[in-house]
Structure formats: C-alpha cells, structure tokens
Structure 1
Amino acid sequence: MMKIKQVVVAVLLAVPAFMSQAMVLTSHDITNDKTLQNQQLFNQWGCTGKNVSPQLTWKDVPAGTKSFAVTMYDPNAPTGSGWWHWSVINIPADVHSLAAGAGAVGGKALPKGASMVTNDFGFKGFGGACPPPNAKPHNYEITVYALNTANIKLPENASPALAGYNILAHVIGKAELVAPTNAR
C-alpha cells in the first residue's frame, strides 16, 4: 500500500512538468485589478471617456492554436445577462497583440481576417465602460481565447452571445485581465 501511495504522489508532483504553461495576457493600458483609465470609458450615456480599446499582448499560446478571439464583458451590468462591450473573432494565429484603438468602428485597425461582432451598445466596435450612476464597481473582464479553428462563421447580425457560444465551443486556452470601475 505504501508503494502505491509513493507512486501516486510522484505522478502528481510530476504532472505540472508535463502541462503546458498557461497563456498570459498583458496590456500597456490596463493592469489586472486596477481601474480602467479614461480612454477605456464610453463617451455617451452620461460617460465622458475616449472610448478607445486597450492595447493587448498575449503569450504562451497553446500548441494547436489556429486563431484567437478577444472579448470585453461586464458580468455586473444590471441586465440579468451582463453586457458585451467588445467581441473580436478570427484573429490569425500568428498575431499575438492588438494595438490601442484596434476596436474602432469599421475594423480598419484590426489584423487582416479579424472582424468584430455587434456589441450590446448596438455597433461593431469597442464600447467602453459606463456603469450606471452610483453603481458598485463593475468588473470588466478582458479575455483572449486561443481557438482550435481558424475561422468562426457567424451571421452578419450575430449577437455577442452567439459569438461567445462559438468561441467557447473551440477554446483550447485563455487568459484574462479584470479591471473594476465605477467611474462616472
């Protein structure tokens, strides 16, 4: 019995050595658990930000990655289903960063082949943070997903929820930054 326990312990200790390293997401504009800056705030609905998507860089990508998707989601929005601020799909596998402003309406600053899905504000682009007045801090989740497919095909008018469903059906790795804010 002691021999079996020793083998089990040895295997469990060795497992991390065989696991791939988790993806890492960083940004010049956002630090994990730090409030979003003015440039990532929305510029409507009583908010006066610049509505510029953050610069993002990711590394330690899993083997087999064929494309990436990036989302910004607010699970604390008072909607019953959260709020999708930004969804980008079909980022080529050899691209490991997005410049600040890549989420501008029209998608001209996105890598070739990438596209945006209509956000919950009703347009294809980055919609910055804009929590309701006097709200508790909202946690804006910015996530990059490594996918096992090169192309997610969606209808032209697809919702962010449909994009999320398709992203999660193909995810093989992910990394996240969370930025709380109640800035108004």
Structure 2
Amino acid sequence: MTLTLTSSDFKEGDRLPDAQVHDKGNRSPHLAWSGAPEGTKSFAITCYDPDAPTGSGFWHWTVANIPADVTEIAAGGPLPKGAVEGRTDFGEPGYGGAAPPPGHGPHRYIFTVFTVDVEELPVTREDSGAKYGFNLHFHTLEKASITAIYER
C-alpha cells in the first residue's frame, strides 16, 4: 500500500482556503493519511512554501512525534498527546498560515506527512524547520504530500 495524504479543506492544486491564511483564519487544515509502511513508529507533518522570497523558502508548520496509531488531524487541532510543534519562520511554534507578499504571484504550500522509524525525534518547540528537516532526513521511511496555492 502506498502512503497517501488528503484534506477535507482542499484538494491537490486548489487555492488554499482563507481559514489557512495567516491574517484571515490562521487555522491548520484537516489532514488524513493512510498506507503507512511497516516499521512506522510515529508521524511528522510539515508545511513549507518554497516560493517565499527568502532564498531558502518558508516553514509554516512542523509537527513531530505524532503517535503511530493516529491517522488524522482535525482542522485547528488539537494535536495528539506527545506531538510537538516546532518554531515556524514567523518565530513562534504552531501553525502559521499563508502570507505571501502582495503581488509576488502564486505560492505553493506543500503539506507533507512523514512516516518515521522512531517514536520520538529529538526536537522541541524552539527548534526550526531546518532542524526538523535534518532529523526527518535520517528517520523517514516514506512521505506523501498535498499542495495548495495562494497569492495576494
């Protein structure tokens, strides 16, 4: 079975709903996944904008240590016990919605679920998306993504 990621808030390639935009709703989307491979001990989620004019993209959400028996996150949370949200590029932990510069064109918001081979990654609420990504690089079994678009 192949890992798949879906959302009841948007489909692949859709415009990101206002509820997931930073200055309109700033609420994390519903996400559901299935098809985790054998050996999955936890899950992680990220939301990344590769089109941000930073030279390195923009981390909008990092979540790790989601228990292996969880296969869905409700819109706006709450997250399951044990899960940890990292610091976004806004400077705070938690979900930070879409906020592209006006007139910069469409940005892609890539939501990814990772199957992880350990129960807990060594990350905290103060850690950046880069640190989450570094740890995920060494512990990901499989990943699946869904991308939404947003522009001002």
TM range (shorter): over 0.9
Query: Is the partner of 2:114 in helix, strand or coil?
Result: strand
Structure 2 residue aligned with 1:119: 88
Q: Distance in 2 between matches of 1:156 and 1:133?
A: 29
Q: Which runs of 5+ in 1 are unaligned?
A: 1-20, 44-48, 103-108
Higher strand share: 2
Greater RCO, 1 or 2 (C-alpha within 8 Å, sep 6+): 2
- Corresponding residue of 1:130: 99
Q: 2:35 aligns with which of 60, 63, 66?
A: 60
Counterpart pick for 1:88 among 52, 56, 63: 63
Instruction: Show the counterpart of 2:134.
Output: 165
Pick aligned residue for 2:49 from 64, 69, 74: 74
Distance 2:147 2:69 in 1: 25
1:29 partner letter: D
**Cα drift, residue 154 of structure 1:** 2.2
Distance 2:150 2:55 in 1: 19
Does 2:5 align with 1:30? no
Per-residue deviation at 1:156? 5.1
Partner of 1:99: 74
Q: In percent, how many aligned pairs have the same letter? A: 46
2:20 is aligned with 1:40: yes
SS in 2 for 1:161: helix
TM-score by length of 2: 0.97
Where has structure 1 moved over 2 Å in runs of 4 or more? 154-157
Q: How large is the RMSD of aligned CA atoms in angstroms?
A: 0.9
SS state at 1:112 partner: coil
Q: Greater share of helix residues, 1 or 2?
A: 1
Mapped to 1, the partners of 2:59 and 2:100 lie a distance apart of 13
